[in-house]
């Protein structure tokens, strides 16, 4: 990958925009469009939550398939294929309103998005291999700034667009999102081409993962999957329930997205320094606080504070586990490890939206679901705190042992 080092930050920008498509628009723009879909189609909270559960089911299948294919195909090829097909799935979402059609394309958006999302982490882990601080920043930018950009763009436009044109224009919103994503594709595919290497030899791909030694990190990441998605799925619905204006909803989402964009710079020192579960614990604790704050202390100020706290933390959880893999495992195991983390996360997040929707229907208050999600995130944080660096962990030649716990 010597040639990419001439323009590594441009390559990184392409990877980040790929996450903007697969993790930002494909998964989280739904939370902004769902109030209009509920209003136009007469859905209850469970039906609205089901579509994100369907997306998560597709994500599980895509993550499992990626874990199986990562030893046969290059990460760059899987990243590019997942990106193109996710874009097509977003376009299709805006064509037919029937629930079966929406379910199909939410599943496929998750399936193809998982391919691109998990391999983006593998590709980013190979940048700045001899500089742990810049490497940690690169990984964090891919997940944080990449996902945050989509939320800024969506938050600044979708609520106001739907208020002005009416809830029945939600299909146009999906088509506009697909068009924006198509504009990103050339740079994303160029970056993948620059990072393309031959698929690893089968012998390398079969390096066994030490499940018993990383179970706490896996369990903590499962807690992240269970809890974070509830806030992003139902934030707009809860604010609508509280009679918030479209302008204020847009402002909260833009603030949330901006905080996500700058979060890599906030967490870089912690991610680079610690090879244990401490970064994930700190991140999950902040996400939990952000989820509960607007419900415990209702009001516009607490909503803005929640957007800041949640935004500065939420997309750093994938960065934390990717850095953990890079710091503790040999390079030939990164693909399998990151795919495994993605599978565990995907299974966990499948349960969150539908269960939260059911709880919201039963209680008549989706805020109760936000509190439940906060509790699951705290539980994940406690478990992740027990994760220690692996005794035989990989040490980068330029690192000094005292940089880590």
Q: What is the pLDDT of residues 274-313, one digit of tens each?
A: 888 899 999 999 999 998 888 888 888 888 999 999 999 9
**Is residue 168 within 8 Å of residue 154, measured between CB atoms?**
no
Q: Is residue 155 part of a domain?
A: yes
Predicted confidence at residue 187, as pLDDT, reads 94
Q: Is residue 401 part of a domain?
A: no
Residue with the bigger pLDDT between 347 and 179: it is 179
Among 161, 148, 177, CA closest to 308: 148
DSSP string, 267-284: HHHHHHH--SSHHHHHHH
**Residue 336, CB half-sphere, CA atoms under 13 Å: how many?**
20
Q: Is residue 2 part of a domain?
A: no
Q: Is residue 398 part of a domain?
A: no
Q: What are phi and psi of 243, to 5 degrees?
A: 65, 30
Give the model confidence (pLDDT) of 228-249 as tens digits. Answer: 877 877 777 777 777 778 788 8
The tally of domains found in the chain comes to 1
Question: Which residues are CB-contacts of 325 (< 8 A; sequence separation ≥ 6)?
Answer: 125, 333, 334, 337, 338, 341
Predicted confidence at residue 355, as pLDDT, reads 73
Domain of residue 269, residue span: 9-193+211-390
Predicted confidence at residue 404, as pLDDT, reads 41
- In the predicted model, is pLDDT for residue 392 greater than 70? no
Distance CA 280, CA 325 (A): 13
* Mean pLDDT on 120-147: 79
Q: Is residue 137 part of a domain?
A: yes
Q: Is residue 222 part of a domain?
A: yes
Predicted confidence at residue 322, as pLDDT, reads 83
Q: Is residue 395 part of a domain?
A: no
Positive or negative, the Cα torsion across 388, 391, 394, 396? Answer: positive
Q: Is residue 14 part of a domain?
A: yes
> Which CATH number do you get for residue 64?
1.20.1250.20
- In the predicted model, is pLDDT for residue 13 greater than 50? yes
Residue with the bigger pLDDT between 130 and 209: it is 130
Distance CA 82, CA 18 (A): 9
Residue with the bigger pLDDT between 229 and 393: it is 229
Distance CA 403, CA 405 (A): 7
Indicate the pLDDT class of residue 197, thresholds 50, 70 and 90.
low
Query: pTM higher than 0.85, yes or no?
Result: no
């Amino acid at each position: 990958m010597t040639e990419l080092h001439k323009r590594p930050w441009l390559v990184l920008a392409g990877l980040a925009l790929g996450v903007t498509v697969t993790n930002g628009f494909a998964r989280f723009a739904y939370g902004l469009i769902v109030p209009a879909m509920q209003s136009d189609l007469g859905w209850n909270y469970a039906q609205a939550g089901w579509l994100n559960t369907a997306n998560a089911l597709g994500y599980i299948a895509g993550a499992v398939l990626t874990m199986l294919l990562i030893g046969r195909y290059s990460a760059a090829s899987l990243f590019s294929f997942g990106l193109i097909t996710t874009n097509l799935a977003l376009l299709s979402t805006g064509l037919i309103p029937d629930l079966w059609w929406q379910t199909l394309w939410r599943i496929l958006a998750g399936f193809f998005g998982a391919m691109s999302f998990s391999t983006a982490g593998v590709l980013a882990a190979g940048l700045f291999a001899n500089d742990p601080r810049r490497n940690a920043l690169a990984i964090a930018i891919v997940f944080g700034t990449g996902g945050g950009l989509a939320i800024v763009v969506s938050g600044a436009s979708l609520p106001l667009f739907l208020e002005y044109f009416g809830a029945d224009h939600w299909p146009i919103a999906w088509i506009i999102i697909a068009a924006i994503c198509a504009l990103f594709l050339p740079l994303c595919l160029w970056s993948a081409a620059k990072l393309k290497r031959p698929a690893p030899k089968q012998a390398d791909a079969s390096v066994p993962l030490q499940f018993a030694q990383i179970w706490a990190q896996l369990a903590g990441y499962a807690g992240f999957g269970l809890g974070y998605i509830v806030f992003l799925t139902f934030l707009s619905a809860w604010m609508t329930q509280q009679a918030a204006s479209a302008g204020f909803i847009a402002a909260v989402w833009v603030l949330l997205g901006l905080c996500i964009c700058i979060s890599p710079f906030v967490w870089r020192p912690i991610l680079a320094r610690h090879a244990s579960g401490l970064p994930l614990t700190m991140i999950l604790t902040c996400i939990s606080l952000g989820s509960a704050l607007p419900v415990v202390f209702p009001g516009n100020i607490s909503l803005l504070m929640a957007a800041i706290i949640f935004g500065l933390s939420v997309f750093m959880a994938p960065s934390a586990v990717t850095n953990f893999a890079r710091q503790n495992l040999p390079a030939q195991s990164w693909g399998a490890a990151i795919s495994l983390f993605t599978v565990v996360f995907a299974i966990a997040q499948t349960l969150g939206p539908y269960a939260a929707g059911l709880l919201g229907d039963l209680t008549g208050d989706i805020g109760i679901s936000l509190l439940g999600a906060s509790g699951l995130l705290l539980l994940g944080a406690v478990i992740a705190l027990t994760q220690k660096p692996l005794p035989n962990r990989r040490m980068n030649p330029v690192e000094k042992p005292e940089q880590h716990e």
